[in-house]
Structure 1
């Protein structure tokens, strides 16, 4: 199953979704439909780490002083499950491959994967 996790209030996510061929892609809006532990574990298996899925650009990352802390994989996992804002967006799973974040290179690879 091809799936994209996104935030509907994120202008970058909206722009990216408009650029993609979404035929046969399930969309999950992460604020209204929270990421489950099972979904996050699947992302972890595909990406190799929770840190890769974690957004260090989130306002809460700075405001909570997390930038000054030594975070471990379990910390990243718990923070992502605690609030959607810590998931790097968008996250796409296409044909068993994961695409994390909005870098130009990543989005180009995602476009190719989606055809």
Structure 2
């Protein structure tokens, strides 16, 4: 599977897509605001990433609004929050066969760029 979960209005997602050239590699692109991720898709991401927490964005505005920074969240909480609100998914999430790349950290983007170069 070759797929990218992104937010079309996110300038960071747009920059990563452009920088890595991933949009020219024929990946299926899912805009998570207009096409919500399913429980099955999230489960697959979790298996590859190791946990729901690894997929959860603490940068989302609602994280502070809902007072989540003051709560101890469980894996079930992370799963429920991501499925309810697309902004809680750390973006972008790219799946290239058996590898997953989550978020916009420099080392992650560099690894993604290297992986994209060989497909």
TM-score if structure 1 supplies the norm length?
A: 0.97
Q: Which stretches of structure 1, 4 residues or more, deviate above 6 A after TM superposition? A: none
Question: What does residue 17 of structure 1 align with?
Answer: 17
Task: State the Cα distance separating 1:55 from its structure 2 match.
Answer: 0.2
Once the two structures are superposed, residues 21-71 of structure 1 have per-residue CA deviations (whole angstroms, 9 ceiling, x without a partner) of: 331211110000000000000000001100000000100000100000010
Tell me the distance in 1 between the aligned counterparts of 2:56 and 2:69. 12
Alignment of 1:46-65 (within 5 A): 46-65=48-67
Number of residue equivalences: 115
SS at match of 1:27: strand
- 2:33 corresponds in structure 1 to 31
Cα RMSD (Å) of the superposition?
A: 0.7
What is the alpha-carbon distance in structure 1 between the residues aligned to residue 112 and residue 27 of structure 2? 12
What is the rounded CA distance, in whole Å, between the counterparts of 1:108 and 1:28 in structure 2?
Answer: 22
- In structure 1, the partner of 2:74 is 72
Distance in structure 2 (CA, Å) of the matches to 1:24 and 1:6? 15
User: What residue is the counterpart of 1:93 in the other structure?
Assistant: 95
Q: Which runs of 5+ in 2 are unaligned?
A: none
TM-score, normalization by structure 2:
0.94
